[in-house]
Amino acid sequence: MQLHLDDAGDGVRALSLYAGGLTTVPEWVWERTGLESLNLSQNRIAVVPERIAELGRLRMLDLGHNRLRDLPAGLARLERLEYLYVGANPLRVLPSDVLACLSGLRHLSLAGAGLQTLPDALGGLAGLLELSLRGNAITALPGSMRGLVALRGLDLRSNGIVALPAWLAELPAIERLDLRWNRLAAAEPVAAALAARGCRVLI
């Protein structure tokens, strides 16, 4: 465990319990209501309780590499959350009601989460800058994702995508698109259109 005290000395702002062998989150964590950063990655946690909603100042949350099968509903109340890593968990599906409330997200990693489909609610994250969907079983992108107007980087490596939707070439801010290890043709027209306008495309 690593505790990080902020410079002002007015309490713990960042807490890391990385690779601590945890199967549950210690109850005392929820008493640290001033936390802005919480790292619970590389443990064996299967359930994050609703009390996570008490950490209303969280901006960064890393739950990656655990045993989560669902996202806690309490996430929906973390209005300041900007960075969320939930990769390498057996999620399989994403709860639309939770995702729809995370409008402040700027960075979202769902890498290796066992996903086959994506909810339309993902497209409501209009401020999202970076999205990683690497290492899932996704075959198509929902049309709602055209609402990701601030998206700069999209990682789709190692999925089952065979064709790209035309609207992807219209995302105004996209700068990097990683399509490696899918089933796309090398001359995929949407990828070519993005590359022509200066987007770095890996295919």
Residues 43-99: tens digit of each pLDDT: 999 999 999 999 999 999 999 999 999 999 999 999 999 999 999 999 999 999 999
- pLDDT of amino acid 8: 39
Closest of 168, 118, 170, 124 to residue 142, by C-alpha: 118
Spatial separation of the C-alpha atoms in residues 111 and 32, rounded to whole Å: 28
pLDDT mean across residues, the chain: 94
Domains of the chain (ranges; CATH) run 1-35 (no CATH), 60-188 (3.80.10.10)
Structure tokens at 85: 């890593």
**Tell me, what DSSP letter sits at residue 148?**
-
- Dihedral, 60, 64, 68, 73 alpha carbons, nearest 10: 10
Least confident of 3-17, 71-85, 102-116: 3-17
What's the whole-number mean pLDDT along residues 15-41?
97
Residues 129-150: tens digit of each pLDDT: 999 999 999 999 999 999 999 9
pLDDT > 90: what percent of the chain? Answer: 92
